[in-house]
Amino acid sequence: MKHSKFYTGAYGRSGEAVVCLSKDRVGKLPRGWALVCMAILAVLASGVEAYAASVSGTNSVAVKIPDDGGFVASTITISGAPEGAVVKGVDVSFKAVHSSCDNLNIDLNADAKSELGNYSLWDLDGGSADNPSKSVEGVEVFDGLPVNRTWFLYARDEVPGDEGFLDEWSITVHFDTNTGPPSIDSVSPDPVPGADRPQAFTINGNNFACPPNVTLHDLARDFTFPNRSVSACSSTSLTINPNFKTGAATWTVEVKNPDGKSSGKHSFKVVAPSKK
Ligand SMILES: [Ca+2]
Ligand SMILES: [Ca+2]
């Protein structure tokens, strides 16, 4: 995939892309490579691919795994990803203390009931060895889910005779933020009842990066109101609290994400308040 290749270049893991990270070196490359590298640099400089990132957590609290018992869980709550971030690969590792590896069944889940997918880390593997541990990179089962959530490592001992405990586990969630431009589908209310006081005004759409920059424009008087304060924000809904005053007019609203991408202008009406 094109995108992941650019990410690889940005993080310097790929031999051919690493050379592109220094502009100074482009001139020393064969002409064909120089052109490719200049193209990659242009994309990186434009910020188009600036959002690849990851968040991690560790839980080192030991959890007893009862002999021949039910599943027990250890959780890690991830909250550091930006709103709208979706999973693009998970790395997970665990260490357990147990005299028989092959007693254990261990699964990673993105929710308490494993309704959002199951990744089996251990299935009675390892024979009679003790103290199982494992690290896995690039688990794809959970791709597309929101990143910020409580992650569950479930463990069960399925063979009578001896028992142990989950010693610690860690998770790294790689993510993408939505890099598409914001778009406006509708505003509410529309029309706006004119009033000489602030009123809640909701903008519905997609790909809002919270908080974006919101600009209002009163076409009748040609006044522009940039940097409106956003009182509520999700990727699909924004609330601002402007004072539209009382004159009938056509207005526009524009949403711009921090990466500079714009929704374009969405027009709506303000109507004069009723005289009664
Ligand atoms: Ca399993
Ligand atoms: Ca056992």
Residue spans of the domains in the chain: they are: 2-46, 53-176, 183-271
Give me ligand 2 centre to Cα 98, in Å.
8
Give me ligand 2 centre to Cα 122, in Å.
14
Q: Is the pTM of this model over 0.75?
A: no
Domain spanning 53-176, CATH architecture: Sandwich (2.60)
Give me ligand 2 centre to Cα 155, in Å.
12
In sequence order, what are the residues at sequence separation of 6 or more whose Cβ sits closer than 8 angstroms to the Cβ of residue 36?
Answer: 20
Ligand with minimal distance to 94 CA: 1
Ligand with minimal distance to 159 CA: 2
Give the position of tokens 């505003």.
Answer: 187
Domain spanning 183-271, CATH architecture: Sandwich (2.60)
Return per-residue pLDDT of the chain as tens, 276 residues. Answer: 322 322 222 222 222 232 223 333 334 455 555 555 454 444 443 333 334 599 999 999 999 999 999 999 999 999 999 877 888 899 999 999 999 999 999 999 999 999 889 999 999 999 999 999 999 999 999 987 889 999 999 999 999 999 999 999 999 999 987 667 899 999 999 999 999 999 999 999 998 876 789 999 999 999 999 999 999 887 789 999 999 999 999 999 999 987 788 999 999 999 998 876
Ligand with minimal distance to 122 CA: 1
pLDDT value at residue 32: 56
Give me ligand 1 centre to Cα 14, in Å.
33
Paired with 249 in beta bridges are 270
pLDDT value at residue 260: 81
Ligand with minimal distance to 157 CA: 2
pLDDT value at residue 52: 55
Indicate left, alpha or beta for 140 from its phi (over 0: left) and psi (-120 to 50: alpha): alpha
pLDDT value at residue 31: 57
Give me ligand 1 centre to Cα 52, in Å.
30
pLDDT value at residue 185: 97
Distance CA 169, CA 92 (A): 7
Ligand with minimal distance to 107 CA: 1
Ligand with minimal distance to 165 CA: 2
Ligand with minimal distance to 67 CA: 2
Give me ligand 2 centre to Cα 167, in Å.
16
Give me ligand 2 centre to Cα 253, in Å.
64
Distance CA 159, CA 172 (A): 31
Distance CA 181, CA 46 (A): 14
Give me ligand 1 centre to Cα 155, in Å.
8
Give me ligand 1 centre to Cα 122, in Å.
5
Give me ligand 2 centre to Cα 69, in Å.
8
